[in-house]
Structure 1
Amino acid sequence: MKNFMIQKGPGFLVCAVIAAISQYIAKFVPQIGAALFAIGIGVFCGNTFLNKKCFQAGTSFSERNLLEYSIVLTGATLLLSDIFALGLKGIGFIATQMFLTICAAYLLGKAFGMKKKFRLLMGAGNAVCGSSAIASVSPILDADTKDKGIAITIVNVTGTVLMVLLPILTGILYQHEMLHTSAMIGGTLQSIGQVIASADLVGPAYVPTATIFKIIRIIFIVLVAYAFSHVNTDPDQKLFSKKKHTEGKVKTSIPWFIIGFFIMAILHTIGLIPRPLSELAHLVSQQFEIIALAAIGMRVKFKDLAAEGPKALGYGLTIGACQILFAIVLIKLFIG
């Protein structure tokens, strides 16, 4: 605990304060919501007077760990019937959307002059779950640290732009109908934090369904990693040509918090989590979300974006535009 407070305490405390300020401001501007204020204040503070190394460990913990805890607690507020309500059509939508996103990232990357490994990293990051997916497939692709860092930066920037754009777009296209709006947000956005923030901008009621769409995408990381283990990343070889060396094994598994989410949902379904406890889990989950979103804002650095240049940013935003177009068509085909 002492080491935690020394290393991660400053960053966590800053994010918690930003979250509290954001929720207070949101009372006066409820149509914007605490989520967007948390990210906006976090971006401002993280690029100005709080841009200090001593906050990095705490913001990293808040962004990743608190979101994972929040997802587990969200399971305690849902029934299995809510999760399985997506049905085969919902799963078909997600699988097709992910496949098309990976194909688009690979083909567009070639047009932008990007390396094969970097294109595959961008495909996984955009199709599955942002930074986590990139970290999962990097060892499989034997990607270097620089490519991994650039991919994470560009994917996060793309997701941040779409996070604000999608609530507006779904209002125009679907008048914020629950299933269609949740499918667009949960089936398109790059990270789980961005999904939660974007859905919350539409309304808190949209967060659980959008999260379910996203969770199914995260589960599919196992299939994506397996597929990537069979591609040839040699720049002089075709993508699906036989590898010279195949001793590497896939070591990707379903993240622990997804398993925890389903365990909590099962316990809630069979009545082992009473309503007061479920309501408490919902309250704590919301607080974790806002703190994590403040951390996401704190970790967006303008200098990193400028360093990547317009070509890399253009590549990422073009993939994001393709994801939106794919989702519009596939929602029509699979969901109606």
Structure 2
Amino acid sequence: MNLFSYIKKIIPGLFLCILLAQLGVFLGKFVPSIGGAPLAIFLGLLSGNTFAKSKIFASGSKFSESDLLSYSIVLLGGTLSINTILQLGFSGIIFIVLQMALTIGITMFIGKKLGFSKHFRALMASGNAVCGSSAIGASSPVINAEENDKGISITIVNLTGTLLMFALVPIAGFLYNFETLQTSALLGGILQSVGQVIAAGSMVNHNVLEMSTIFKIVRIVFLVVIVIWLSKEFHNKELEVDTEFALEEEAYAKKKTKISIPWYITGFFILCTLFTFGLIPPQVSKVFKMISSQFEIIALAGIGMRVNIGELIKQGPKASLYGLLVGLSQIVIAIVLIKIFL
């Protein structure tokens, strides 16, 4: 597909996301206690499950949800100093590592008790522990997961994250009175996708948005570790075959585990470094911040549009229960770890 055809394909959905985003911002002025970000998501959710269910909007909403959000994250790096990232400290890193490890353990345990296959449990574990659909997509080939398991896990993880996105804000207000570090750890340490973290952070304040995004970015960096672990775990336990075939599979597994960090994370750190050393002037940083905010609100509308309520109902109560129990477990784990380390 050439560039012109691609642009033509994304225009309807992108235009609708822009319209919903601006409508959300406008309505947010009348209900400042809610704000434009959650309203953009709600409008996207309403539209995507009613009049905008047509495939003509799919490419544009996907572009808004993924590409625009990625650009927003990169530009956000041009507004933050490395000193801000260092505020996480050693205790913040330990919190993230333990939160991820315990999420994986509890997800595998709950899934086993509910009778799900090991492959499906592994996809659910990586998606909830790291970064939702991206982690599932990276983990799927190294464990030879079925397409059906991949599709269902993506649906359940995304829906769980969407529900948590709205639930965690009042929890943070009640427990931490929106204190920046603790609230950011709760949001950035639990929520499944970057978009959900940004959306939830937007509902609190800009400081929480920035810090929770940093927590999330650190989690994404650990994606490489999770994928390598899954590769070894499934390779060691499932490839009990003759030596020659095992060596071939081992070489293939190692090849598949060469998972790179998403490009927008690299871009974020490059701009963050440039800003730290004063190579990005304050005026340019302000422009980055303005554009990043605009891309962000459009992406949130796209995220709402791509939540398929009908698909969730189709998965049945058992899969939904799995997602709910994992989400509740993540909240409990995070609250305990925040109490200990932060």
TM bucket by the smaller chain?
A: over 0.9
Choose from 268, 275, 282 the match for 2:275: 268
Instruction: State the match for 1:300 in structure 2.
Output: 307
In the alignment, the residues of structure 2 paired with residue 205 and residue 97 of structure 1 have an alpha-carbon distance, to the nearest angstrom, of: 22
Instruction: State the match for 1:68 in structure 2.
Output: 70
Does residue 191 of structure 1 match 2:193? yes
Residue 55 of structure 1 deviates from its aligned partner by 0.8
Whether contact under 8 Å (2:184, 2:215) holds in the other structure is yes
In the alignment, the residues of structure 1 paired with residue 20 and residue 54 of structure 2 have an alpha-carbon distance, to the nearest angstrom, of: 16
Residues 87-166 of structure 1 aligned to structure 2 (within 5 Å): 87-166=89-168
Choose from 83, 86, 90 the match for 2:88: 86
Residue 25 of structure 1 deviates from its aligned partner by 0.5
Residue 332 of structure 1 deviates from its aligned partner by 1.1
Residue 94 of structure 1 deviates from its aligned partner by 0.1
Residues 1-336 of structure 1 aligned to structure 2 (within 5 Å): 1-232=3-234, 245-247=249-251, 248-249=253-254, 250-335=257-342
1:33–1:42 CA distance, 2 compared to 1 (3 A): same
In the alignment, the residues of structure 2 paired with residue 303 and residue 17 of structure 1 have an alpha-carbon distance, to the nearest angstrom, of: 24
Instruction: Please list the CA deviations of residues 206-264 of structure 1 after superposition, one character each: whole Å capped at 9, or x if unmatched.
Output: 110000000000000010011111112799899xxxx9542322121111111100000
Whether contact under 8 Å (2:156, 2:319) holds in the other structure is yes
Residue 85 of structure 1 deviates from its aligned partner by 1.5
Residue 270 of structure 1 deviates from its aligned partner by 0.7
Residue 202 of structure 1 deviates from its aligned partner by 1.1
Residue 34 of structure 1 deviates from its aligned partner by 1.1
SS in 2 for 1:272: coil
Whether contact under 8 Å (1:184, 1:328) holds in the other structure is yes
Amino acid aligned to 1:48: T
Residue 205 of structure 1 deviates from its aligned partner by 2.5
Instruction: Please list the CA deviations of residues 52-73 of structure 1 after superposition, one character each: whole Å capped at 9, or x if unmatched.
Output: 0111111111101111101100
Instruction: Please list the CA deviations of residues 101-144 of structure 1 after superposition, one character each: whole Å capped at 9, or x if unmatched.
Output: 00011000001111100000000000000000000111111111
Q: Choose 245-254 or 122-131, whichever is displaced more.
A: 245-254
In the alignment, the residues of structure 1 paired with residue 284 and residue 29 of structure 2 have an alpha-carbon distance, to the nearest angstrom, of: 25
Amino acid aligned to 2:128: N
1:333–1:3 CA distance, 2 compared to 1 (3 A): same
Amino acid aligned to 1:324: I
Residue 33 of structure 1 deviates from its aligned partner by 1.2
Cα RMSD for the two superposed structures: 1.6
Which runs of 4 or more aligned residues in structure 1 lie more than 2 Å from their structure 2 counterparts after TM superposition? 232-238, 243-247
Instruction: Please list the CA deviations of residues 171-212 of structure 1 after superposition, one character each: whole Å capped at 9, or x if unmatched.
Output: 111111110000000011000000000111112231100000
Amino acid aligned to 2:155: T
Amino acid aligned to 1:225: V
Whether contact under 8 Å (1:70, 1:289) holds in the other structure is yes
In the alignment, the residues of structure 1 paired with residue 305 and residue 88 of structure 2 have an alpha-carbon distance, to the nearest angstrom, of: 34
Paired residue total: 331
Residue ranges of structure 2 left out of the alignment (5+ in a row): none
Amino acid aligned to 1:286: S
In the alignment, the residues of structure 2 paired with residue 30 and residue 69 of structure 1 have an alpha-carbon distance, to the nearest angstrom, of: 27
Amino acid aligned to 1:246: E
Residue ranges of structure 1 left out of the alignment (5+ in a row): none
In the alignment, the residues of structure 1 paired with residue 224 and residue 164 of structure 2 have an alpha-carbon distance, to the nearest angstrom, of: 25
Whether contact under 8 Å (1:118, 1:151) holds in the other structure is yes
State the TM-score, normalized to the length of structure 1: 0.96
Identity %: 49
Residue 268 of structure 1 deviates from its aligned partner by 0.4
Whether contact under 8 Å (2:235, 2:250) holds in the other structure is no
